[in-house]
Amino acid sequence: MTSRSAGGRRSAGEGARNRDPLHPLQLLRGAVSPPPAGPARILVVDDDARFRQSLTAMLEMVGYHCLAAGSGAEALRLLEEETPDLVLLDLLMPGMDGHQVLERVRRLGRDVGIIIISVDTSWDSVKRTLRRGAENFIRKPYAPDEVLAAIETCLQKRERRRQNRRMLQQRQISEQLHRFLVNHSPDCIFILDTARRFRFVNDKMLSLLGYREGELVGRAFAELVADPASVSCALADGASGTRKRVTLEVELKRRSTAGCDCPDPVPVELTLMAVTCRGAGGGERVSCGVYGVARDITERKKAEALITFQAHHDQLTGLPNRVLLNDRLDLAIRQAQRDGGRLAVLFVDLDRFKMVNDTLGHAQGDLLLQAVARRIANCIRRGDTLSRIGGDEFVLLVPRLKLQRDAARCAASILEILRAPFMLGVHEVFVRASIGISVYPDHGRTPEELLRHADMAMYAVKEKGRDNVAVYRPQMDRKYIRRLAMESEIRNGLANNEFVLEYQPQVNMADGSLRGLEALIRWDHPGRGRLLPSDFIPWAEENGLIVPLGNWVLEQVFVDIRRWKRHGIHPPLVAVNISSLQLRQPGFLGFLVDLLEEHDPDTTRMELEITENIIMHDASGTIRRLNQLADMGVRVAIDDFGTGYSSLSSLQRLPVTTLKIDQSFIGRIGPASSEDSIVSAIVAMAGSLGLGLIAEGVERELQARYLGRIGCHLAQGYLFAGPLSHEAAGRYLGGCH
C-alpha cells in the first residue's frame, strides 16, 4: 500500500506545465518551480454506479484521490476542468461510449494515462483502444491486485515521460544560460601572450580599472599589479605550461585620473590558465599564452571585514566582545610574563539595570548601555580594552599596571563618571555600578582565573550593598564554591524529596478564631539538618531554582489539603508564598488551573502571597496576571508590607485583598517606639483602601494589645502558634472545629 501511495504522490499535479524552453533571465527570476506534491488524481468513468463506488473506495483506501463520472459526456466535462493523472475508462456506455471518449481525450491533447476496464474484450476493441493511446486493458470483473498493479505501472511510465521532458527542458535552459553568461560575463577576462603582455581584455576589465578601449593591449600585465612579485611565479608557470591553472588574490591598480594620482587598488581573485597549441610540424604542444579571469572581490573583502568585526565585537555598543577580550588578555599576560609586569581586570556590573528595562523598555535600556560604554571609554587609556561580555556586564583590561592601587583608582574614577545622570529622552536616569578587580600575577595567571576572580569580587560588592569596588581575596573562593554547591544540593533535594512543609496558623486576636494557615517550606538537609527558608531561598532565587521549588510547594499544599479532607478537616484558607520568577512564567497560570481542577479544593480558599517588589518589575504584566488569579477565585496578599516600594496608586490598581505587616516593624513595638507610628499608618492606609490586615511575628502580649487597640485584629506568630507539621496542623484544625 505504501509504495502505491508514494508513487501516486510522485506523479501528482503535473498537467501541461511550462513545456516551452525558458529564457535564462526567466530562470534567474525563479520561473521554473518543482511540481506540487500530493496523491495521484484518478478519474473513474463508468455508467454502473456500484462499480464506480467500489472502485473509487478501493483506490482512495490505498491513498489515491478519485474523481468519478457516470457518462462519457460528464467525463469530458471533468477533463476540461481538471487534469487527472490517470483515467479508468469503461467502453460500453450509453450515449458516448469509451471509444469516443478516448478519441476526444486525444484531441484535447491532455497528458493523461488511460486504462480500459470493460467486459468488451474482443480483439477489435482491444486493438482500437491501444491504437488510440490506452496504456492497458483489463477485463471485468477485475482482480484488485491486477488493477492496482496496472495503475502503478501506468503512473510510473507517465512519471518517466515527465522526467524525460523535464530533463530535456533543463538541458535547453542550461545551454541558453551558458551562452548568456559567456556573452555577459561580470568578470574581467583577458589573454596574455608569451611575453606576458595583453592581447585581449573585455569591457568589464576596462571599466573596472578605468581604461578606454585599446589602452591596455600591448602593456605588460605586471604594470597593473600592485605587488608584481606576488604574480611573477604564477605568470611564469602559466606561460611555460608547467601548471594548467593557478588561483590567487592580488590587487590591480586603477588608472590615474586628474583628481587622484594614486586611486585605491582593486582586490581581485585572479585565475591564470595556460593556453597551449601544437608546435611546428605537429609536434608537442607548447605554450602560446595565458588565459586569465579576474573577479572583483571588493564587496567580499568588505563583508569579510564586517564579519570579522562582528565576530569580535558587541553589536550594540561596538566594544570588543568576550572572544576578543580573551585574545587581548592572553596577549597582555604573555607580555607581562616577558617584562615581569602586572595587569588588572575590572569586572563592571550595572546595579539594578533590569529596573530600567522593566520601567522604560528595552529600547531605552539599550540606549543607556551605549551611553555607559561611551562614558567609560572616554576615561580610560588608549592601550586599555573595554569590552561588553553580555547584558549589563563590562570588563576593562588595564595592561602595564604599575601598582595594584592604580587599578582601584581607575575603578573609582569609573564609579565617579557614572554618577552623573543620563538623559534618555525626557527621562533622567541615575546609574550605579559594582566593580570587582583581579590583578596578574597576584590573583591568577590565566585569562579564565583573572576573569573568574574579578567576577567573584564584583559579587562581593553586590552582597555588601552595591555601588563600590572590591579587590579579589582568596576567601571569596569559598563563597563562590558554596554558591555552585548549593545549586546542586537544591536540585538533589527536590529529586530526593528532602523538602517538607509546615503550617503556621493565622488567628483573630479578638475571639481566637482561625483565619487560615500559611504554608512554610523547610529543608531536611542530609548533612546540615533542618534548614529555614533564609538558608536556601536566596540561592534558589539567584539561580532560578525558585520556580521548580515554588511549584513543588503549590503541589504539596494541594496534596496536604486533600489528606486533611479525607479525615473530615477543612482548613478555611491556605496562604502560599510565590516568587516574581514564578509569576512571570508563561505557564504558571495554566499550572495553577490544572492543580485546582485536579484537587478541587472547593471548601478551601487559596491565597497567594507576593512581595511589594514584584509590583515594580513589569507592573502592567503583574497586574494582568493577578487579575487573572482573582478571576479564578484566588486571593492575593502582599507579604512583608512596608519593606518594599509599592505606592498607594499601585495598590489601588491591584486585586489585593490583604496586607501583611512585616515582622521587623512588629518586633520593635514597645513603649515610646517609633515603630508604633509606622504600624498605625499602615493600619490606617489599609482601612482607607478596604484591605484586610495581618500582623506577622507577634510574640508578646504587649504587641497583641497594641495591634488590637489600633484596629489590626488578625495576627500570626509564636504568641498563638508556631509552624506545625502536617499532622500537628491537622490536630490543630480539628481542635478549632
* pLDDT digit string, tens, across residues 542-572: 778 999 999 999 999 999 999 998 888 888 9
* Inter-residue contact 368 to 357 (CB < 8 Å): no
For residues 21 and 322, the model is more confident at 322
Under 8 Å CB-to-CB from 112, ≥6 apart: which residues? Answer: 43, 79, 83, 84, 85, 86, 87, 105
pLDDT band at 599 (very low <50, low <70, confident <90, very high): confident
Find the angle CA(114)-CA(116)-CA(118) to the nearest 5 degrees.
160
The domain 2-181 is placed in CATH, from the list 3.40.50.150, 3.40.50.2300, 3.40.190.10, 2.40.50.140, at 3.40.50.2300
Domain residue limits, the chain: 2-181, 188-255+262-300, 313-474, 493-736
SS3 for 77? helix
pTM above 0.95, yes or no: no
What sign for the dihedral angle of Cα 359, 365, 371, 375?
positive
Question: pLDDT at residue 698 above 60?
Answer: yes
d(CA 649, CA 463): 31
pLDDT band at 343 (very low <50, low <70, confident <90, very high): very high
* pLDDT value, residue 17: 37
Q: How far is CA 219 from CA 275, 404, 642, in A?
A: 19, 65, 89
Question: pLDDT at residue 325 above 90?
Answer: yes
* pLDDT value, residue 347: 97
* pLDDT value, residue 669: 82
What digits encode the pLDDT tens for the residues 122-163?
A: 888 888 888 888 888 888 888 889 889 989 999 998 888 888
Q: Do strands 658-661 and 635-641 pair parallel, antiparallel, or not at all (unpaired)?
A: parallel
Under 8 Å CB-to-CB from 76, ≥6 apart: which residues? Answer: 96, 101, 104, 105, 108
* pLDDT value, residue 31: 45
* pLDDT value, residue 485: 82
Under 8 Å CB-to-CB from 299, ≥6 apart: which residues? Answer: none
Q: What is the DSSP string of 358-371?
A: HHH-HHHHHHHHHH
Q: How far is CA 470 from CA 283, 412, 438, 456, 515, in A?
A: 85, 10, 9, 9, 49
Q: How far is CA 209 from the centre of its chain?
A: 45
What digits encode the pLDDT tens for the residues 278-315?
A: 766 666 777 788 889 999 999 999 998 889 899 999 99
* pLDDT value, residue 312: 92
Q: Report the amino acid identity of residue 163.
A: Q
Answer whether the bond into residue 141 is a cis peptide, omega within 30°. yes
Domain 188-255+262-300 top-level CATH class: alpha beta
User: What value does the mean pLDDT take over residues 343-350?
Assistant: 96
* pLDDT value, residue 615: 62
CATH domain 313-474 topology: Alpha-Beta Plaits (3.30.70)
- Which residues lie across from 554 on neighbouring strands? none
SS3 for 467? coil
d(CA 294, CA 450): 49
* pLDDT value, residue 82: 81
Question: pLDDT at residue 174 above 70?
Answer: yes
190-194, 262-266, 294-298, 472-476: which range is least confident on average? Answer: 262-266
* pLDDT value, residue 202: 86
d(CA 64, CA 40): 5
Closest CA to 490 of 536, 550, 542, 556: 536
* pLDDT value, residue 665: 86
For residues 514 and 107, the model is more confident at 514
The domain 493-736 is placed in CATH, from the list 3.30.70.250, 3.40.640.10, 3.20.20.450, 3.40.30.10, at 3.20.20.450
Under 8 Å CB-to-CB from 548, ≥6 apart: which residues? Answer: 494
pLDDT band at 68 (very low <50, low <70, confident <90, very high): very high
Q: What is the DSSP string of 527-568?
A: TTEEE-HHHHHHHHHHHTTHHHHHHHHHHHHHHHHHHHHHTT
Question: pLDDT at residue 675 above 60?
Answer: no
Question: pLDDT at residue 422 above 70?
Answer: yes
User: What value does the mean pLDDT take over residues 245-270?
Assistant: 84
Backbone phi, then psi, for 115, in 5-degree steps?
A: -120, 130
